[in-house]
Structure 1
């Protein structure tokens, strides 16, 4: 009776072990297939010639790179349980079930290693494009400031500029304070003109103030340009380091798992052939 109970316990244990092994294999395969479908979906539509598409695709693939790794590991654990705990002997001339998963790991390892220089090159291209855009915007702003400065200088150098400013201010205030109906756009335009005339009046009474304002605007423009350049450089460094290091770690993990696994498979195959002979 005791022997029967022990036999039942052993059978239950084997059944549980077999179930655990099957679950690990199934979950591992599902994770691998799901990640492959995810990678394919992320690549659609293909725009291989576009740097921005390459950058986004590599970011997504690296961020999801741990999923197939977990799937491969789960399958290998399930295989190990089947072939060690259950002591199942592989059939002769039968391909080791680990082989395609280990080859897949090696391929992914090489892919993640290959995308590192490509990603860094794309990051550098985007950084250069951003810097060109920042410099162009700064040049346009500087040209606009210089144009306004020249207009003000021309106005101030004209005869009776103070009288003209005072008269223009008086007329503007008269329109704003009158009962005349004005649209919102007209009122905003008049208020903007009035502020500009007030600035002209200050420049007439204080000739050195124009140069001070010009220097202040130029200083703020240079500070804003420097801030944008710093942000662009910092963002490119962050992206390069994050994706580059993650891709390198994934490459190492996949390569170690794949190469050592294939080495064990070949070693086991060699031992099996030697024992048969």
Structure 2
């Protein structure tokens, strides 16, 4: 809100605008600090997943107090323009001083997260990739066990037909075996080595197909994890760096200005 002088067209800021900006700025800062404290509680610094989620949450919320600081200082600037800003006897009684200190502290915090976050993401990504590799190895071992079991079961079924003629005839009569399968069984009867070659060939084909699926799934999971790690590192690290620069500059320049005013 502004007022206009009757003698000219110069726009003069309204005291209400200054009060509103300072009030909204202070509320934004306090609400953000409460949000930060809630995010940090309960602390679990030894848990890397907690560190990552907490840092990400802080960075995502980091712009709110920065806007609050800007609004607060804008309100004080309007007060100064109107000549309503009384000089404090000591900086400790000036809200701007504590706001600058808070800004410097937040700048330091975001600078630390800029350094630590990439390493945490790297370690978490490494652990996730190791888990993917372990799961792939376990799936391969389970595959070997299952194929060996299927091979033994299949061999037992064929051996039963070869050793029991009545069972073979019953299977033929019921339609469970077609002519090609019957001829194949007769070849197995005359040449047992052909049975071994046949079963080993079937197992080898199934093993190759399933191992290809496991390998493809592992490769897809690895690519996805690496992509997510890269995105998380770039987004959070760059945002944290920008916030660190913004808070530090505002805090340092503000303190420099306030110290110059009291000299």
TM-score when normalising by structure 2: 0.77
1:239 and 2:232 aligned: yes
CA contact (8 A) 1:109 1:255 kept: yes
Cα offsets for 1:113-132 (capped at 9, x unmatched): 00122222221222122112
8 Å CA contact retained: 2:26, 2:69: yes
Asked whether the 8 Å contact 1:25–1:75 carries over to 2, the reply is yes
- Shift of the alpha carbon at 1:248? 0.5
Tell me, in whole angstroms, the C-alpha distance in 1 between the residues paired with 2:158 and 2:258: 97
Distance 1:121 1:240 in 2: 9
Q: 1:82 aligns with which of 54, 79, 83?
A: 79
Specify whether residues 162 and 244 from structure 1 end up closer, same or farther in structure 2 by C-alpha distance, changes over 3 A only. farther
Instruction: Give distance in 2, aligned partners of 1:256 and 1:88.
Output: 26
Spell out the pairing of 1:135-154 with structure 2 (5 A cutoff): 135-154=133-152
Q: Does 1:269 align with 2:262?
A: yes
Selected match of 2:27 from 23, 27, 30: 30
Is 2:212 the counterpart of 1:219? yes
Contact preservation (8 Å) 1:155, 1:161: no
Among 117, 132, 137, which residue is 1:134 paired with? 132
Unaligned runs of 5+ in 1: 175-200, 271-277
**Cross-structure match for 2:41:** 44
Residue 255 (structure 1) aligns with? 248
- 1:85-234 equivalences under 5 Å are 86-88=82-84, 90-91=86-87, 93-95=89-91, 96-155=94-153, 160-161=158-159, 163=161, 206-207=198-199, 208-234=201-227
Task: Provide the aligned length of Structure 1 versus Structure 2.
Answer: 230
Counterparts of 1:247 and 1:253 in 2: how far apart (Å)?
10
Distance 1:142 1:89, change over 3 A: closer
Structure 2 distance, partners of 1:240, 1:38, is 23
Q: Is contact 2:76–2:85 with CA below 8 Å preserved after alignment?
A: no
Distance (whole Å) between structure 1 residues aligned to residue 14 and residue 141 of structure 2: 77
Alignment gaps of 5+ in structure 2: 175-184, 186-193
* Larger displacement relative to structure 2 (88-97 or 44-53): 88-97
